Amino acid sequence: MEPFHQQLLITIFVAALAPLIAELRLGPRIPVVVLEIVLGILIGPHVLNLANPEGTIGTLGDLGLTFLLFLVGLEIDIGEIKGKPMSLAVGGWLLSFLLAMLCAGFFSLIGLFKAPPLWVAVALSTTALGVLVPILRDTGDLGTRFGRHLFAAGTLGEFAPLVAISLLLIPTDAPLVHSLFMGMFVIISLGAAYLTLIARSSKRLERLAHTLQGSGQLPVRICIALQVLLVALAEKFGLNVVIGAFAAGLVVGLTLKDQGGAILRQKLDAIGFGFLVPIFFIVAGMKFDVAALGSSPLVPVQLVILVALLVVVRGAPALLYGQELRPEERVPFALYSATGLPLIVAITELGVSSGLMAPDRAALLVSAGMISVLVFPLLAERWLRNTR
């Protein structure tokens, strides 16, 4: 094993190498998150053993997870998708979750994929909105009716699983106490949101904006302080960091509705996707046990089933869009909606760290998620191009 400073250097080098490889476009479009995980696997203890997901690197990975969830909360803009897109998205996600529970329970019952059905169902019902938005922007579909409905479905595919997983992580030994703590946390978060709205409607926010052009960067520091505060409060109340980070993103997102907010959003994206979030995915790759995929002759069958379930679970809601989507748009809608790696990684990481999911089951789910982001957007994009 390399000394710590060399491990950190290798990790940072890999974080810079992943988007460089993606930009070379040597073949089919490969999402950066997939490259980060694959390179993390290569340098991790299970392959080349050049870096270890412990110590400071592991801490940076944990910070990356909280920042990822913060940015997920930041992305959600209910005002943009209210009305029919939102109502269809809510019904679609509930249908997805019900299907996922039935399928996960069935395969667990027959012993084909033994894992907690609730955790598997939450993982299967996710959508990688952060992966899809750049693709839809490049194809010109983001502002269309198809794009608005897909954006709404993707928003629920990120928001609802995070709410579900945060509830699953609440300890059951004293549910009343933790329910009270949850209520207190919600009240504090709503108070922060109210103060945010007041600041947004006053001239104070504009006076703070000028520091974004200098070394002060006060709005950025306030956003990070709020994130740390809500994460610390969530942990203090016996909740999970998932709730704190996600709530901070939702609160900060309220201030980013005007023109000045675009600059602040770019700077937060730069901190997250330029530094901390890549380290989280690289560290997740380091923890990925490649040997677990060869531990049983059933693994290929299980992997095929999980990939198929992603399509079935997140694709079935396309049937609800009979009057909103053209017939030729339903298959691409299903494939795009079934693309779900980033939150699958986050959810399985939380499952393994809390002792509720075995590492080999997590590795299978992550593998299915990697296949989804490699294959589904390409198939969806080609289908739309051939039918228009």
Q: What is the pLDDT along the chain (388 residues), one digit of tens a residue?
A: 557 688 899 999 999 999 998 888 777 677 788 889 889 999 999 889 999 998 889 999 889 888 988 887 787 766 666 778 888 999 999 999 999 999 999 998 888 888 889 999 999 999 987 778 767 776 777 778 888 889 889 888 887 887 788 777 665 555 566 667 666 766 777 677 667 666 665 555 566 666 677 777 888 888 899 899 888 887 777 666 777 888 888 888 877 765 557 788 888 989 998 999 899 889 988 988 777 677 677 888 899 999 999 999 999 999 898 888 888 889 999 999 999 888 898 888 888 888 888 888 888 998 898 888 888 988 888 898 887 6
Q: How many of the other CB atoms lie within 10 Å of CB of 188?
A: 16
Yes or no: say if 350 and 242 are a contact pair by the CB < 8 Å rule.
yes
d(C-alpha 353, C-alpha 351), whole Å: 6
- Asked whether the beta carbons of 337 and 150 are under 8 A apart, the reply is yes
Predicted pLDDT at 99: 95
Domain ranges of the chain: 4-387
Angstrom distance (rounded) from CA 60 to CA 380: 35
Q: What is the pLDDT of residue 335?
A: 93
Quote the CA–CA distance of 277 and 269 in Å, as a whole number. Answer: 10
- Report the alpha-carbon distance of residue 170 to residue 172 in Å, rounded: 6
pLDDT at residue 198 in the model: 64
Give me the residue label for tokens 């108070």.
Answer: 191
Which structure tokens are listed for 129? 């909105």
Q: Which residues in the chain belong to E strands, given as ranges?
A: none
- What pLDDT does 203 receive? 57
Amino acid 385: pLDDT:
81
b/e per residue 133-168 (b: at least 16 CB within 10 A): bebbeeeebbeeebbbbbbbbbbbbbbbbbebbbeb
CA distances (Å), 109 to each of 104, 105, 106, 117, in order? 8, 6, 5, 10
Burial per residue of 34-66, b for 16 or more beta-carbon CB atoms within 10 angstroms, e otherwise: bbbbbbbbbbbeeeeebbbbeeebeebbbbbbb
pLDDT at 13: 95
257 phi and psi, to 5 degrees? -90, -15
Phi-psi region of 172 (alpha: psi -120 to 50; beta: other; left: phi over 0): alpha
Q: Give the rounded distance of the alpha carbon of 334 from its chain centre.
A: 18
Q: How much is the pLDDT for 95?
A: 95
Residues 6 or more apart whose CB falls under 8 angstroms from that of 275 comprise 15
- pTM of the shown model: 0.79
Query: Nearest-CA neighbor of 342 among 67, 5, 23?
Result: 67
Residue range 4-387 in CATH 2.60.120.260: no
| 24 Cβ contact partners less than 8 Å away, ≥ 6 residues apart | none
Residue 260 pLDDT? 58
